[in-house]
Structure 1
Amino acid sequence: MSSTTSRGGGYDTPVKTAFAFSGAIFAGTILTIVGIFQLLAGIAAVAEDKVYVKGVEYVYQFDITAWGWIHLILGVIAIAVGIGMLLGQTWARVSGIMIAVLGSVSAFMFMPYYPFWALAMLALYIFVIWSLAQLMSSDAEF
């Protein structure tokens, strides 16, 4: 007789724990990478305004330098939260979803300046939200 108990979904507890642990590693890694990308995009916007399209008129219009600072701040926070996820910190789970939501909104608002980059960042942030939501919905601890 097995010492593990079967819970919802037909998976044994060790299998659920393995899925949750791999989800945490995925989310932490992707969040750290996205944070590095945001940091680099912010440096490019602050240092050299000629990288991004200017003259686009739309509702969410900010100066390119302001977008650079937004990307820098989001990038630093995303890197810190991603490293916290990789270290197994419980605070990083909720913080990861919050920073991914903020990053998704900023990527959407940044779309007129650099559309393909913004769509790629939006997709990565959505993967992070999905992975962290899966992790938080499981009852596994690591």
Structure 2
Amino acid sequence: MNRTRSRGWMLFAATLLFLTGAVNLIQGIFALFLRDYLFITGGEAFFFTLTPWGLLLGLWGLLLLGAGFALTSGRSWARTLGVVLLAINVVAQLAFFAANPLWSLVVIAVDLLAIYGLTAGWSSAHAAEEERESGREAEDSYRSGYEAGMREARETREEAPSSGASSGAHIPQPSRGEHAR
């Protein structure tokens, strides 16, 4: 159950990473080529010229998209990368706050939701992986103990002299004081 829940959070977070990356890429394209649509009249930005900001947003969007792809492919480092990129994106969106406050708040909310999605199942997924590993070790230990016991029983049968009894070979039993040793 934890594994399914954790995988659901991962897909949710990856979807939000794709969405945030696409939004940043589109914002970057608008900042480079369609400046009139990006800012309302009298709006201000952190940068005086939008060309470097547009390039930065476009590249940042591609980086977020790449993190989303890495997350869906099951890369363990993609979670950490996604959290770091999204946290930086929250701060970067504050630069657009004066020009488009509602848009910035929406993007920040999506970023925070994606961070929650990346971190919500983190410890449960790690604990589930450790539990699976310890379960495998216990099963392997049980199996090897069982196989060793079967091997010992076969060797004992082969060593015991065969009496013509119908029940098969006699397996010697330890005397009363031998098992305490």
Which TM bucket (shorter chain)? 0.7 to 0.9
CA deviation after TM superposition for structure 1 residue 113, in Å: 1.8
Q: Following the alignment from structure 1 to structure 2, what is the Cα–Cα distance between the partners of residues 17 and 42?
A: 37
Q: Following the alignment from structure 1 to structure 2, what is the Cα–Cα distance between the partners of residues 43 and 79?
A: 15
Regions of 4+ moved over 6 Å: none
Q: Following the alignment from structure 1 to structure 2, what is the Cα–Cα distance between the partners of residues 62 and 133?
A: 36
Asked whether the equivalents of residues 37 and 75 of structure 1 are also in contact (C-alpha less than 8 Å), the reply is yes
1:53 to 24, 40, 45: 40
Q: Following the alignment from structure 1 to structure 2, what is the Cα–Cα distance between the partners of residues 54 and 91?
A: 42
Query: Over residues 113-137 of structure 1, what are the superposed CA-to-partner deviations in whole Å (9 max), with x where a residue is unaligned?
Result: 2222211110110011111111322
CA deviation after TM superposition for structure 1 residue 54, in Å: 5.8
- Which gives a bigger RCO, structure 1 or 2 (Cα 8 Å, sep 6+)? 1
CA deviation after TM superposition for structure 1 residue 66, in Å: 2.5
Asked whether the equivalents of residues 47 and 53 of structure 2 are also in contact (C-alpha less than 8 Å), the reply is no
Counterpart in the other structure of 1:68: 54
Unaligned runs of 5+ in 1: 1-14
TM-score (norm 2): 0.64
- Two-structure CA RMSD over aligned residues (Å): 1.8
Number of residues paired by the alignment? Answer: 126
Larger radius of gyration: 2
CA deviation after TM superposition for structure 1 residue 79, in Å: 0.3
